[in-house]
Chain A
Amino acid sequence: MQNLWLIPALPFIGFLINGILGRKLSKAVVSAIAVLSVVLSFGLVVSVGLSSGWGEHPIHQHYFTWIRSGGVDIGWDFMVDKLTMIMLMVVTGIGSLIHIYATGYMAHEEGYYRFFAYLNLFMFFMLNLVLGANYLLLFVGWEGVGLCSYLLIGFYFVKKSATTAGNKAFIVNRIGDFGFSLAMFLIFITFGSLDFGKVLSAAPGKPVEVLTAIALLMLLGATGKSAQIPLYVWLPDAMEGPTPVSALIHAATMVTAGVYMCSRSAAIFLKAPIAMETVAIVGLATAVFAATIGLTQYDIKKVFAYSTVSQLGYMFLGVGVGAFSAGIWHLMTHAFFKALLFMGAGSVIHACGGEQDMRKMGGLKKYTPWTCGVLACASLAIAGVPGTSGFFSKDAILTAAYGHAPWMFWVGVVTAGMTAFYVWRAFWMTFWGEYRGGDAGHSHDHGHAHTHGHDDHAHAHNHSHDHDHDHGHSHSHDDHGHDHHGTPHESPWSMLAPLVVLAFLSLAGGFLFNVPKFLESMFPLHEEVPNEEMLMGVSIFAGLIGIALSYFMYVANKELPGKIRKALGGIYTLVYNKYFVDEFYDATVVRPIIEGSTEVLWHGLDQGVIDGAVNGAGTGSRSIGGVLKHLQSGNIRSYATWVVVGAVILLITVGMNGGLIR
């Protein structure tokens, strides 16, 4: 009998120890606790997998009744089936690797214990989300990971941009959670339960309109958590957090929760074709939209952030066209290569001493060969080069999309080409050519192009002022730029080892894990699509074109990008500024709310109506009191007599009206 509760409990224990005692513990102990708790959890997942035939025989465990009130009966139930198994493996496996990576990456940070406490708490909530056997438990995890995300984005809380980004992530997610809550209410009203088993088995018999409403509300929740249009805006800003956080939370695990939820609720979605169509379109639109923005960014983490948004769009496309298993497959492979990309980016940033602007990198391959190698693997995978993991999953989605609607396939292929282009653009800019960083004079002026997520890297092992980092890391950005002349360096092995593992998985993940086959019992395989080889060829071709084009533009012919930029002019500015979406939201949503509440609620309602009523009441009572004050003799016995007289009158009145008649 496997105790499923131990899986989330171990990180939680780690959180408690590190959170409560961490300040007193040495860094070695803190990291040992944090890493061990997650690795043990991973071990437990593996043992659960072995004993249950990797989810072949679903496990369902009831621990205690959490809420029982009226018709609501919600237990603390965990369950493991194949879908959960995949998520568990991804979350704990990649989580372990990233924890190991983070011990190296965060080694010189203040608040080391705090970071790992949050990270462990995140693992707890994420595992809760994945293991929960009803929507409310899923929601608990959902909100919990949101909280941890907020805490970790704002990890450098002395930096205003970081706290702002944290707030943004939290608030934008609230909109999505609102949708999800409504979906849960609707589910409860419709099905009378929140248990997955009961809800999903009863779903086919319910009216389509209700199911569509539920599915659309869930989609709203998913767009918040998984950064889809229109709520994707928080994810790029979330790169303010430390890079391991970006890798774990904002690339590999938390943002995929929306995909997981939709797949989990497949029974509902399958009965709501309109919702499915919406999911597919939202996913596709997000994929294209984010990819175009990704083409123009210079901040290496921003590029990968938009890439994440885009790839999540792919997953939703897969879900929307009914290829749930393909979506999950892409979720998994994406977790491999995107975590790798971020961690590689972290390694690069680390090497450059906190620099994130790709224009100040270049030629790093000779300084950081390992990083270069693993990033190449990841880039190959995301570009969909045949044989790599990304190729299989992406191809599965595109094929399914073609079966659903051919135009979706073509848009997807174009997006794939763009993806390959911008990822390899980043790769070439970073590793090829000459090292452009370190020359004095421009280390001050790159702040406008990207957010300041690199303060977390403001350290270097061979640094002359290593010691005062503990006091001043958060404002050491500029000092840092100067100190870092010309000697990018390879990262320590605690960081590189996880990268190598992930690189292997990125390349071979597609062969190793045939997810659609594995999930066949849950999600039937898609029917055969005609011309499959042709489609495959097209998508491979798109990816190779993207790679070639990027090589052409950023390695062979370096003047070309500038020319194109000039030629496109307005369009380039539009895309470079991310289509002004933030500004658009600011103008259409944020400002009206502020203005409205100032004008209507404050000046109008509060000062006008409420204050008026209060003042009026005051004036009125004063004038009435002027008359009544003659009654107030200040004599207690008079008052008592009045009370008695009143009581007598009251009793007589009641009696007259039948109160005293039996």
Chain B
Amino acid sequence: MDLFFFLLFAFIAVACAVSVVLQKHPISCALSLVGTMASLAVLYLLLGAEFIAMVQVIVYAGAIMVLFVFVIMLLNAGEESSKGRSWIAKIAGLPALAALLGILGYAMLTFYPMVGPKASLVHFGDFTGGGAKEIGTALFTEYLLPFEVTSILILIAILGAIVLARKEID
């Protein structure tokens, strides 16, 4: 069952991610990204992170991506123009990406082997420490300072957004 869900949603996630990169129209990209995020939320559930899964949907898919869609619709952005050039991206881009993926994959498989005595398995229900209570407790004790700092960051972001948006008016 775990394997089935993992494979299904991993496939959806990757397919949507590829679609983000390959789709011509920004709206399609945005909706593909929502698909990736939603399937990631399911994977989070499988990993026992129920609260984060919900927040992923509410915040990422439900708010941030709506903002993206909103802006795309507002600008009525069409398909992108193919003007511009970057010789380095053309030459080094794909090899570098392949190397990156290779190294990351190698590292992960080295440290977390698939089989053998050191293999660690994810089984739904193994880890139940991802509820709202646990997160809240950790957030307001151990991570209180980062939490407060983040709130200040958000305040700054609001101010920045307002300042930038005011220009639009006048």
Contact = CB atoms under 8 A, between A and B. Distances in A.
B86 interface: yes
B86 A633 contact: yes
B84 A635 contact: yes
B90 to A, nearest CB: 9
Interface stretch (A80-88, A306-314, A346-354, A645-653): A645-653
B89 A640 contact: yes
Interface string B28-57: 000000000000000000000000000000
A644 B104 CA distance: 13
Contacts of B86: 633, 635, 637-638, 641
Contact of B103 (A635, A640, A655, A661): A655
Interface string B77-101: 0000000111111001100110110
Given A648-B96, A660-B110, A642 B103 contact: no
A662 interface: yes
Given A644-B97, A648-B100, A655 B107 contact: yes
Contacts of B88: 633, 638, 641-642
B111 A662 contact: yes
Contact of A660 (B97, B100, B107): B107
B106 interface: yes
Q: Which 4 A-B pairs have the closest CB atoms?
A: A637-B86, A638-B86, A644-B96, A641-B89
Contacts of B92: 641, 644-645
Contacts of B99: 648, 652
5 contacts: A640-B89, A641-B93, A642-B88, A644-B100, A661-B110
Contacts of A661: 110
A388 B117 CA distance: 96
Given A638-B86, A641-B92, A642-B88, A652 B103 contact: yes
Contacts of B106: 655, 660
A221 to B, nearest CB: 38
Nearest to A635: B86
A33 to B, nearest CB: 40
Given A644-B96, A652-B99, 16 more contacts: A633-B86, A633-B88, A638-B87, A638-B88, A638-B89, A641-B89, A641-B93, A644-B92, A651-B100, A651-B103, A651-B107, A660-B103, A660-B106, A661-B110, A662-B110, A662-B111
- What does DSSP make chain B's interface, helix, strand, loop or mixed? helix
Interface residues of A, number: 17
A662 B111 CA distance: 7
A651 B97 CA distance: 13
A652 B92 CA distance: 16
A645 B96 contact: yes
A645 to B, nearest CB: 5
Contacts of A644: 92-93, 96-97, 100
Interface in B128-150: none
A503 to B, nearest CB: 62
Most buried by A among B96, B104, B107: B96
Contacts of A652: 99, 103
A662 B87 CA distance: 38
Most buried by A among B84, B85, B86: B86
Contacts of B97: 644
A193 to B, nearest CB: 31
Nearest to B118: A662
Contacts of B93: 641, 644
A62 to B, nearest CB: 29
A181 B54 CA distance: 56
A371 B107 CA distance: 94
Interface in A601-649: 633, 635, 637-638, 640-642, 644-645, 647-648
Nearest to A647: B100
A652 B100 CA distance: 9
Contacts of B107: 651, 655, 660
A19 B122 CA distance: 66
B96 to A, nearest CB: 5
A654 to B, nearest CB: 9
A230 B100 CA distance: 72
Interface string A474-515: 000000000000000000000000000000000000000000
